[in-house]
A and B are shown apart, each in its own frame.
Chain A
Amino acid sequence: MNMMRREGTPIRQIETITNLDEILAAAGDSVVMVEFVADWCAPCKMFRPILERAVNANAGVVKLYTVDSGLHSDIATKFGVSSIPHVLFFYQGEIIRRQVGFLPEKQFSKLLEGLLVAIKPKEEAL
């Protein structure tokens, strides 16, 4: 949990399921992207800068956390992740979308924009 408070660290590691639960509980109305990666995954390395730029472009609205699925296979198993790169999008504690595999930047931005538009009415209703 202390890792998520470490400001200035661009991507924060999730190491336990409790860790993830706490992050989701504290996320409010932000979209939380949880990226499953591993050292040996070349497409993950291509995907990372695209995700980072997406977070920067949507500062405060979108947050990014990462799970090293090589070290924490229990988290991967819990969420049915068997192929990486794999991004889970959480909103108010629930998975609203999954992206399996690499996506070029333009397509990824479009996907994220779509999600942000889709959750807007929900926010207004609150």
Chain B
Amino acid sequence: MSQDAQKLVIIGSGPAGYTAGVYAARAQLAPLLYAGYKAGGQLMWTTDIENFPGFPNGKDGQTLMAEMRQQAERFGTVVLDKYVTAVDFSARPFKIWTNLPDNFDPETHQFDSSTEFDKLMSKIKSESPATLAESVIVSTGASSIMLGIPGEKEFLGRGVSTCAVCDAAFYRDKNTVVVGGGDAAMEDALALTKFAKSVTVVHRRDSFRASKVMQERVLQHEKVKVIWNSSLKKIAGEDKVEMAVVQTTDPQSNQVTTQEIVADGVFVAIGHRPVTQLFQQALRLDPHGYIVTRQSVSQLGVSAANQALTPEGLVAFPTMTSVEGVFAAGDVVDIRYKQAITAAGQGCQAALDAERWLEAKG
């Protein structure tokens, strides 16, 4: 074991990463946490969190994340606002890089092929790693999915928005469309009802998956209309968004109909995808890109758990990934729940697992 290897490196700074930081620091593992340039994760974009226990009057996302960070730092977690750009988990200590070639923009770069991605990785890895780690917790979370339809990119900032809470006030007495059926879409729709003339929610199923309390607020609102079993096919206009094309599939007859609706603003909230591109070759992922751990609620997770049973019939280190010593927590693993509180819970589990695993290893 290298002398200068960190005991634990945490990659990611949402509720999972910061909670892991709190627990690991209190276990005196002196964790190093890579927070990225957008430290705080998805909750930084949420105005009011009403379902995190302990805050009966709600809590704004930024404050909650800033306080979680302070709590992790208070016990000795060192937080760096840098991206991890490459990892090597093939041998311990694990290697972690943070360098990038000049003029490479990770926010906007689209890889043409996996070969191009591999080339970038080799280039990064030709330099010395930034950190060595005896154990790692991956909690990189998830990023929002765009529709990928004509007009979406072209009109971003001119009628297409990903932050209804920010932009709702610009749509006073206008017609707006929200795409999605989860809590984020409900939050967007409600934010818009305060200003807009109409809010049309377009959802691909015949019911919402959002929490009942949010659904009710939306469905009972006089300004809201829902178009079920439908998706957006196109956003169009001259200088700014003027209309959207909605395609509906009748669930009984499978008949497809298309309609144009008047829209001044389109708000996209169709969900998230796990941020795992960096770990494609390093860790076992499921077909949707989620990291598989021994507690993943899938066949892959059940198989991994079965292979990790102790003589007492317990699953050893439930948050461990396919690589011994690498753990994962939060939305990057979570196929089902995806809540701040479940992410925080998993971050705690991962830190406790890492602590016990390091102890057992000696």
Mark A residues whose CB is within 8 Å of B: 38, 40-46, 69-70, 73, 76, 80-86, 98, 100-107, 110
Contacts and interface: CB of A to CB of B under 8 A. Distances in A.
B166 A82 contact: no
Given A82-B158, A82-B240, A104-B37, A38 B169 contact: yes
A100 B157 CA distance: 6
A83 B37 contact: no
B283 interface: no
Given A105-B37, A107-B105, A43 B166 contact: yes
B61 A42 contact: yes
A96 B175 CA distance: 31
Contact of A82 (B45, B107, B265): B265
A41 B165 contact: yes
B163 A43 contact: yes
SS class of chain B's interface: helix, strand, loop or mixed?
Answer: loop
B107 A107 contact: yes
Contact of A84 (B156, B166, B240): B166
A104 B169 contact: no
Contacts of B163: 41-43, 83, 101
Interface in B195-251: 239-240
A42 B44 contact: yes
A45 B37 contact: no
A101 B167 CA distance: 11
23 contacts: A38-B166, A41-B163, A42-B44, A42-B45, A42-B46, A42-B62, A43-B44, A43-B166, A46-B40, A69-B169, A73-B169, A80-B158, A82-B158, A82-B240, A82-B265, A83-B156, A83-B157, A83-B161, A83-B170, A84-B166, A84-B167, A104-B107, A107-B105
B60 interface: yes
Contacts of A45: 62
B44 A82 contact: no
Contacts of B107: 103-104, 107
Contacts of A105: 37
Contacts of A76: 170
Contact of A106 (B37, B159, B169, B172): B37
B74 interface: no
Given A82-B159, A104-B107, A46 B170 contact: no
Given A43-B45, A107-B105, A69 B170 contact: yes
Interface in B79-96: none
B272 interface: no
